[in-house]
Amino acid sequence: MSIFKIRDRILEIQEQRTVLESEKEKLLADLRKQCQHETIIETPNEGSAFAPMRICAICGLEEEGWGCGYKELSKEPFMIVKDRNKFYEFRTLQPLEIKKLAIPTS
């Protein structure tokens, strides 16, 4: 394959990636609107100056707050992780990769 064909194919792939990323963002927005946020993971709040954080393990929506300060993720958390590093591991998972975790999806 010539270098020009290789270059053209790379440009095609980049364009496809841009289109797919845009579609993904739109679908993620729809998912977050429809999600009931039943599977919430929270950082511990004892002994920390930082506000606890919550993340929905289904759609990836995050909030920070104290007690009644949560607006979208106000349900009781499914899991409280030991530390923020563990929480950040959940953050790095993309929505729909929840099967990697031992969390019910029904």
Are both 43 and 23 inside the same structural domain? no
Beta-carbon contacts of residue 103 (< 8 Å; ≥ 6 apart): 39, 57, 78, 79
Q: Is 65 within 8 Å of 40 (Cβ atoms)?
A: no
Torsion-angle region of residue 2: left (phi > 0), alpha (psi -120 to 50) or beta? beta
Q: Are residues 47 and 28 in the same domain?
A: no
24, 44: one domain = no
- Domain membership of residue 71 as a residue range: 35-106
pLDDT band (50, 70, 90) for residue 11: very high
**Is 61 found in the same domain as 104?**
yes
| Per-residue pLDDT, 104 | 47
Average pLDDT over the chain, rounded to an integer: 82
Both 64 and 96 in one domain: the answer is yes
The pair of three-digit structure tokens given for residue 40, joined into one six-digit string: 């919430």
Say if residue 21 is in the same domain as residue 58.
Answer: no
Pair of tokens at residue 96: 């729909």
pTM over 0.75, yes/no: no
Q: Identify residue 46 by its one-letter amino acid code.
A: E
- Same domain for 59 and 89: yes
